[in-house]
């Protein structure tokens, strides 16, 4: 079986796999040919040759075009990884002479993309202007399944508990981010000097959904005190949306130190004097296990650690204006 696999793999050509990926992505031979800037017969021939080498059918015809068979999906998954490794290898070769030049594909949780990520990218490109960035945004689950495991990005920054991390991934903790209950400056609760979560159960809240790291944290915080979690008047995973809505004075929200540090002065919020009873999952850089980072990715990681250390060490003052 091993000899047959070796013989078959040697007969497979990169141009055939390239055609496979393109046809699967665009859903038709014609669109794939247009994308690859070659003729449709060339694409059809490449797929036919690949099917002949493997002895299986890779695509089925459907009303909208074609879709991969189970065999096609299996080969497609490995092909994506092959081209990712090839691109990374070429990038590494290009950057050996200059490790500060190259393209870095990174993912970022949306809540960290409005302040932290732009600061990191801007700071790094000020030092290394040849660096290029390709950024994918999403929630932690999407970044793991869609981007990291499919190798669309090399690393991702997100807030996640280690227990929620896919077994094929590993986390490098950047910092622990304290959470705060926030209100608009003219919200009646903003004038109170002493508060507990029990006082706020029946208020109008703007919170992430329960499966979001912060949404789950809020449920845990109220439950730990024997309280029923507050009803979400607005359910949204975006910290930016939350901050802008809370600033209108009719809602309460929960935001972290890092987000509040970068919150623009025009969005005026008040941190309420409440000690949040549970610890938030750490903000981490997530990568594939056992995979060596490219020079550009390692440069980004090292810079991120240096930049985030002073932010993480700053003590947020209760009831300060942000």
Cα dihedral across residues 149, 152, 156, 158: positive or negative? negative
- Phi first, then psi, for residue 66 (nearest 5°) are -140, 155
Express each pLDDT in 23-75 by its tens digit.
888 998 899 899 888 999 999 998 998 888 888 899 998 888 889 899 888 88
Q: Which of 46-60, 83-97, 276-290, 308-322 has the lowest mean pLDDT?
A: 308-322
In terms of pLDDT, which residue wins out, 321 or 21?
21
How open is the CA angle 182-187-193, to the nearest 5 degrees? 70
Q: Which of 91-95, 176-180, 216-220, 283-287 has the lowest mean pLDDT?
A: 91-95
Express each pLDDT in 207-261 by its tens digit.
999 988 889 999 999 999 999 999 999 999 899 999 999 999 999 999 998 899 8
| Whether pLDDT at 8 is above 70 | no
Give mean pLDDT, residues 291-297: 84
The 3-state secondary structure of the chain reads CHHHHHHHHHHCCHHHHHHHHHHHHHCCHHHHHHHHCCCHHHHHHHHHHHHHHHCCCCEEEECCEEEECHHHHHHHHHHHHHHHHHHHHHHHHHHCCCCCCEEEEEEEEHHHHCCHHHHHHHHHHHHCCCEEEEEEEECHHHHHHHHHCCCCCCEEEEECCHHHCCCCEEEEEEECCCEEEEEECCCHHHHCCCCCHHHHCCCCEEECCCCCHHHHHHHHHHHHCCCCCCCEEEECCCHHHHHHHHCCCCCEEEEEHHHHHHCCCCCCEEECCCCCCCCCCCEEEEEECCCCCCHHHHHHHHHHHHHHHHHHHCCCCCCCEC
Q: Quick one: pLDDT at residue 165? A: 92
pTM above 0.85, yes or no: no
Structural domains of the chain ordered from first start = 2-80 (1.10.10.10), 98-174+289-313 (3.40.190.10), 179-271 (3.40.190.290)
Overall residue count recorded for the chain in this entry: 322
The answer to whether 215 touches 239, Cβ cutoff 8 Å, is no
Express each pLDDT in 248-281 by its tens digit.
999 999 999 889 988 888 999 999 999 889 998 8
Express each pLDDT in 167-220 by its tens digit.
999 999 998 888 999 999 999 999 998 999 999 999 999 999 998 888 999 999
Q: Quick one: pLDDT at residue 94? A: 60
């Amino acid at each position: 079986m091993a000899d047959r696999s070796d013989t078959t793999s040697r007969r497979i050509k990169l141009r055939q796999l390239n055609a496979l990926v393109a046809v699967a992505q665009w859903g038709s031979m014609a669109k794939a040919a247009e994308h690859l800037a070659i003729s449709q017969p060339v694409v059809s021939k490449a797929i036919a040759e690949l099917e002949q080498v493997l002895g299986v059918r890779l695509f089925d015809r459907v009303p909208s075009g074609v879709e991969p068979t189970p065999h096609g999906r299996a080969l497609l998954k490995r092909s994506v990884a092959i081209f990712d490794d090839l691109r990374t290898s070429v990038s590494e070769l290009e950057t050996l002479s200059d490790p500060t030049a190259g393209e870095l594909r990174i993912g970022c949780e949306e809540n960290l993309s409005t302040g932290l990520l732009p600061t990191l990218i801007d700071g790094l490109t000020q030092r290394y202007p040849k660096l290029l960035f390709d950024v994918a945004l999403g929630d932690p689950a999407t970044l793991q399944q869609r981007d990291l495991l499919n190798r669309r990005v090399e690393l991702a920054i997100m807030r996640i508990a280690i227990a929620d991390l896919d077994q094929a991934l590993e986390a490098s903790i950047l910092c622990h981010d304290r959470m705060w209950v926030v209100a608009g400056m003219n919200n009646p609760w903003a004038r109170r000097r002493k508060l507990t979560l029990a006082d706020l159960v029946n208020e109008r809240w703007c919170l992430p959904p329960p499966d979001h790291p912060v949404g789950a944290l809020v449920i845990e915080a109220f439950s730990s005190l024997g309280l029923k979690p507050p009803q979400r008047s607005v359910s949204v995973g975006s910290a930016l949306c939350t901050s802008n809505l809370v600033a209108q004075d009719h809602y309460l929200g929960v935001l972290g130190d890092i987000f509040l540090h970068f919150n623009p002065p025009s969005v005026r919020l008040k941190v309420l004097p409440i000690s949040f009873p549970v610890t938030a999952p750490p903000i981490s850089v997530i990568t594939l296990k056992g995979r060596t980072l490219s020079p550009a990715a390692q440069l980004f990681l090292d810079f991120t650690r240096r930049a985030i250390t002073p932010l993480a060490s700053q003590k947020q003052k209760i009831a300060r204006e942000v």
